[in-house]
Amino acid sequence: MADNILNIDGSVLEGGGQILRISISLSAILKIPVRITNIRANRSKPGLAAQHLKGIQLVADMCGAKLKGANIGSTEIEFVPGKIRGGHYIADTKTAGSISLLLQVALPVALLADDDVTLDLKGGTNAEMAPQIDYMELVFRPLLNKFGGDFRMEILRRGYYPRGGGHVCVTVSPMRALRAASLTYRGDAATVHGYSFAAGTLPLKMAVEMADGAKQSLAGEKVDIRCVKEDRNMAPDNCAGIILHCLLSGGSTLGADALCGRGARAYDAGAKAGAALRDVIVTGAVVDTHAQDQLIVYMTLAEGRSALRVGEVTLHTKTAIYIVETITKIKIDVRPDGQQNIIECTGLGYVNPNMADT
């Protein structure tokens, strides 16, 4: 398909879907053809699952890419990008595959299109092993704003495991360039806000119990959690979960979430989310574990030097750094600073060529 194709080993480090998402996003933006092998080699079922396949196909549609090997179970793909164009795009996992992960792969590309982009994303809105869609709105979006990017989101229908069926509409206006952001000054933690929900046939009591568990774990913090029984028309299936977020006086936002699995105690699920947020607050991090790996791509593309103060550098983040360095050849530094780590780099200063020639 292409003579000068960049080979990427999908089994390194985290060895999962994140390698795909970052590789495909940067391939589309920087117009670097890639071949990804050993896809999801570290998973119990290697190869492309529905949500990974749909994410790749979504970006391929957005940039008119030539795509080879794009089928369920495939362990190797080739992706040769074209020009990123605005427009209306649809991705439907037809499973409970995470809509948040579809957004992760498509959003950097949409921000560098030639015109407005509308993404109709269908699948799971609140899924295990991925940030809940509410996290993307309440925590990730304010962090993206620091880099000058933004999106608008409308949750039209909730979708949960195992049926999925969720529907989220995201609109993105393109930008000429991302700006560097320094997320290193923490400041004080303000009130922790939360959203605790029960859906389907599950009672509101579960949402209240999750909120109680979170408040117990966050004893000593100001906590305001809204408990909701979801409308059956919008969320017909059973699920219960909680999303917590906290604005720091330094301007950053921290978050944590949890779902109440079948047979689990609602109180324990809430306590788990509360403890996760408490741990981030205590460590003095400015960016939480869900967001740190997602921001690596934006740091890479931005003009100037960006920095993140994090707690432990996660395996997902180490993987993101490795893939970014492989594709772009820029250097991302990680250095310890007390109980935290600083992740920093001087970005490419990438200017949107699609917007420039409109």
Q: Is the peptide bond before 33 cis (omega within 30 degrees of 0)?
A: no
Residue 316 annotated among the catalytic residues of the structure: yes
Q: How many CB atoms sit inside 10 A of residue 192's CB? A: 24
Question: Considering 167, 245, 290, 316, which one is annotated as catalytic?
Answer: 316
Burial class (CB in 10 A: 0-12, 13-18, 19+), 261: middle
- Looking at this protein, which amino acid is placed at residue 73? G
**Which neighbouring-strand residues pair with 143?**
none
Catalytic residues: 316
